[in-house]
A and B are shown apart, each in its own frame.
Chain A
């Protein structure tokens, strides 16, 4: 393997408390090393450039049945953004839901090297993995939807969390997944008969438990299994005015699990769960309340799910939410896709418009949250791709965060009513490059428990992004446009010690790894005839045909986990 030496760059590596110091980064055999022999190594002159670890995206819908249904749904979207084949790269299409290869190329061009696929129905896991294999240049992992899985619900209702944990461990292995994803707990099961739950204490029909029970039960299970990531939670009442109260209640419900060391829950795309006001007419931001809570507590992390004003495609496992969104009117297509015993799903093409009061306030909420939560290790940058906007709009979001001027420029063009309601004019904070590195790689990697990612310390994976930003000579807040452009087009992206992007172009294509957890419980899940017959009752696939086999993962990275149950 080649050795690489990145010389004289301004390094931003928050994990190792390096804040823009000029230093060299040495790479050998796909890892960061102390030093390499300069004679043998390929030298990258990074003087005047910013060096960061490869980006780690914690929540981006890039593959799976839902995503692909979205692709199939929108030829009108692809026709705007056709990508030509080159000698090295495959052809494909964008725009809001890029085809698999294009997804890999575009992430890599932004200097991202790891992406979490946060919503995978267990039954459709094979499909998700087949697609992930086709996303080159980035490492991937998937979170299995387990919040409305009948096995889990029944065991939580029986208060048999040990059994529940064993089942979930089996499921994490069977679906080759990385974390427990909970979407509108109880709501998806209710949606099976066209209903929904509206508070943490509503009864889930037919199962005798509440969303609160599910969240607490699975949070407990998560700690019992020693999972590297916390539960990954999409709250109840998402997308409904006034839902910030539910969000705070949800966070309160998890307070007792906090042991003082690490967070116990992650609320994803919280922008969609931070709405105040009683109805759409009185819609306003609940960011301040959420931020105050987070500033006073340390047991939660969040990602924002920023709106970027794009003609995009919303997709979530939250079927009832998508239907209520559809009923608001103005949409030409609606997809609902329920998955037996596990989950549901919905897709709607959606255009976020500056001139729409609600959309503009949503845009404002995301930024308010990012700016008002003081500790950047608690709040991460996502657009909930493609829900708030496509992932390659990230640089726009960066600009809004590091430049007050950029925010003002956009706010000026927003709906007048939204401008009045926005808290942004009162917020002076501007992110530094150090803080940006936290919310895009160091913090996300830490929250995910990926120890070798998101930083440039000795032994870390050699995933590096080099951007054309000179922090010494540039005031990034004032000159936000060139910096924004620089974040969208990395000068170099290095993946596992190989240069894959050079001078903003893809120069090498390699498959990324699929990370999954081999969770071993002390006493394995009993696979007896009783379970098998139950399985047959619950699903329309045989037990033997259910798990994802090795065949479906081209480059696996298995992480062994010993559970404490």
Chain B
């Protein structure tokens, strides 16, 4: 019999479900209860990867060879201190404790510091900086929301328990779960499908007629009923859309126009156009009416807004709509944050520096400017001359031009397994899986801090990434102290020391 650990936190997505029951046998997770399929894939199988990095490596003569931890730390610290402008990127799959030391390291190095949010929900943060945000913790939505809008996101696939734990299928104090209704709908759909299949067999034309029908259906009557309603806006019919009461198919890259039109409609303005972004204005008017009549509405949006044309402006106008709706009823809006601790990275960076990402310390104080100091923009322009990547894989996810520039200069990586970026590194560190082998803090998508648990021991000799960053920081300080000593010696010979300042 294995040991059962309760209330374990899932270190995968921004939902941070904390009700997992994990069975551990011989320092191995063998069973997981309550979690979703994604969670099972990582917690039960994925973390045991055969591709695990078990010791530090340094690239010598073009080949990665195993070295001692000390040697790797020295090498990494030397690279970072020698660089005029190093970039430290990643952080979102690390604990807040690691991120905390990371800011100190970046400050000590005078480099650029960015986290993965610049390629996911950074635009959401930028939008908040422009206009603010009316938002709420997920429980508030669970207890009160009778209208849930998922816009350009597919939680059924990306945050599988979001609907079940926080929105439509959860029992709140004032609003009840719609799960039963969903099951009934599924049954009805199944029989409808059977009918359709028979029809198709007998009538070939039926299918053609169907495909020519309007891409957006009119809002169904069911949107007016009491109880929770779910509406999905997306460019394609997703799994979440199948669950929803109403799906609105949006023309790609036209979200902004639709939001704009909805804002006007919420203000009872008349529009000169009949169709916006592929959706008839009449339908939009009905949806806006449903929104205004809701007791408590919630909009969740995903990368479909933040990474399509318009980026942070899309989020900004979504927030503007939510804000306008608050004049008539209660409405909140919330980003569907991806990595389990990307919110934490924003939070930790912000309390130490005032800024959530896209930081630069080259002037001795924090500077902030997405577009200038964001990792991809820096790399694309080739501005930095050394890179440290921690708990992220830009090798797999960044554009070729960025990676190409990254590889022109030394690259240090800290990751648990041999992902694309680790294979490209010049100094490669192993690391523990945060939330499985390492405890720590993570921030849920609604910035609630939750303690991750350690459930199994890491392989021997594999340190936490926090330890590695801390050691690099110490080494960097030693090297810098040696350098200033040299400068001071020069001073004795009468040379002027102009560097320094205050």
Contacts and interface: CB of A to CB of B under 8 A. Distances in A.
* Real binding pair: yes
Interface of A: 63, 65, 68-69, 71-75, 77-79, 82-86, 90-93, 97-101, 123-124, 126-127, 130-131, 134, 150, 192-194, 206, 323, 327, 332-341, 347-348, 537-545, 549, 551-552
Given A124-B448, A192-B330, A545-B451, A84 B7 contact: no
Size class of the contact patch on chain B: 35 or more
B405 interface: no
B88 interface: no
12 contacts: A72-B355, A90-B352, A92-B365, A97-B354, A100-B351, A127-B443, A127-B448, A338-B140, A340-B136, A347-B132, A538-B173, A540-B137
Contacts of A551: 451
A194 B296 contact: yes
Given A99-B350, A335-B128, A348-B132, 7 more contacts: A71-B351, A75-B129, A79-B368, A336-B135, A338-B136, A540-B139, A549-B451
Contact of B18 (A82, A332, A545): A545
Please report whether the interface of chain A is mostly helix, strand, loop or mixed according to DSSP: mixed
Given A71-B350, A82-B365, A130-B441, A340 B451 contact: no
B253 interface: no
Given A68-B351, A74-B129, A537-B173, A542 B7 contact: yes
Contacts of A73: 128-129, 132
Nearest to B133: A335
A75 B502 CA distance: 24
Given A91-B361, A338-B136, A537 B171 contact: yes
Interface of B: 6-7, 9, 18-19, 96, 100, 104, 107, 125, 128-140, 142-144, 165-166, 171, 173-174, 295-296, 323, 326-327, 329-330, 332, 346-348, 350-356, 361, 363-368, 441, 443, 447-451, 502
Contacts of A340: 136-140, 142-143
A323 B354 CA distance: 24
A91 B107 contact: yes
Given A91-B361, A92-B353, A545 B9 contact: yes
Most-contacted residue by chain B among A130, A551, A552 (CB, 10 A): A130
B330 A124 contact: no
A333 B130 CA distance: 7
Please give me the 8 A-B residue pairs with the lowest Cβ-Cβ distance, nearest first. A340-B139, A194-B330, A93-B354, A333-B132, A338-B136, A126-B449, A336-B134, A82-B365
Contact of B451 (A63, A77, A126): A126
A353 B96 CA distance: 39
Contacts of B136: 336-340
Contacts of A100: 351-352
A74 B138 CA distance: 24
Contacts of B348: 130
Contacts of B6: 542, 544
Contacts of B129: 72-75, 333
Contacts of B104: 90
A414 B19 CA distance: 58
A323 B130 CA distance: 17
B365 A83 contact: yes
Contacts of B107: 85, 90-91
Given A84-B365, A335-B132, A541-B18, A127 B139 contact: no
B19 A542 contact: yes
Contacts of A541: 18, 448, 450
B142 A327 contact: no
Contacts of A75: 129, 354-355, 368
Contact of A93 (B19, B142, B366): B366
A64 to B, nearest CB: 9
A332 B131 CA distance: 6
In the complex, which of the residues B107, B351, B353, B354 has the most CB atoms of chain A within 10 Å of its own CB atom? B354
A206 B174 contact: yes
B140 A134 contact: no
Nearest to A131: B351
Nearest to B96: A130
A193 B330 contact: yes
Contacts of B347: 68, 127
Contact of A82 (B144, B171, B366): B366
A69 B448 CA distance: 12
Contacts of A542: 6-7, 18-19
Given A124-B448, A540-B142, A336 B351 contact: no
Given A192-B330, A338-B332, A99 B135 contact: no
Contact of A338 (B137, B329, B354, B450): B137
Contacts of A134: 100, 351-352
Contact of B296 (A65, A193, A544): A193
A84 B364 contact: yes
Nearest to A125: B449
A537 B171 CA distance: 8
A100 to B, nearest CB: 5
Contact of A101 (B18, B329, B350, B352): B352
A333 B131 contact: yes
B449 A78 contact: no
B295 A193 contact: yes
Contacts of A339: 136-137, 140
Contact of A72 (B9, B350, B451): B350
Contacts of A126: 441, 449-451
Contacts of A99: 350-354, 366
Contacts of B441: 126, 130, 552
A125 to B, nearest CB: 8
Nearest to A192: B144
Contacts of B173: 150, 537-538
Given A71-B351, A338-B332, A130 B449 contact: yes
A315 B473 CA distance: 36
Contacts of A150: 173
B19 A84 contact: no
Contacts of A338: 135-137, 140, 332
A341 B139 contact: yes
Given A68-B347, A78-B368, A341-B139, A92 B326 contact: no
A290 B21 CA distance: 56
B449 to A, nearest CB: 4
Contacts of B139: 340-341, 538-540
Nearest to A64: B351
B449 A124 contact: yes
Contacts of A194: 296, 326, 329-330
Nearest to B347: A68
Contacts of B450: 126, 541, 545
Contacts of A545: 7, 9, 18, 450-451
Contacts of B449: 124, 126-127, 130
Contacts of B448: 123-124, 127, 541
B211 to A, nearest CB: 42
Name, among B96, B138, B451, the residue most crowded by chain A CB atoms within 10 Å (CB to CB). Answer: B451
A374 B86 CA distance: 60
A91 B130 contact: no
A90 B105 CA distance: 11
A85 B365 contact: yes
B137 A123 contact: yes
Contacts of B96: 130
A204 to B, nearest CB: 14
Contacts of A63: 351
Contacts of B368: 75, 78-79
User: Interface centre among A68, A323, A336, by most B CB within 10 Å?
Assistant: A336
A97 to B, nearest CB: 8
Given A72-B128, A93-B354, A323 B326 contact: yes
B133 to A, nearest CB: 6
A543 B6 CA distance: 11
A503 B325 CA distance: 54
A145 B190 CA distance: 49
Contacts of B363: 82, 84
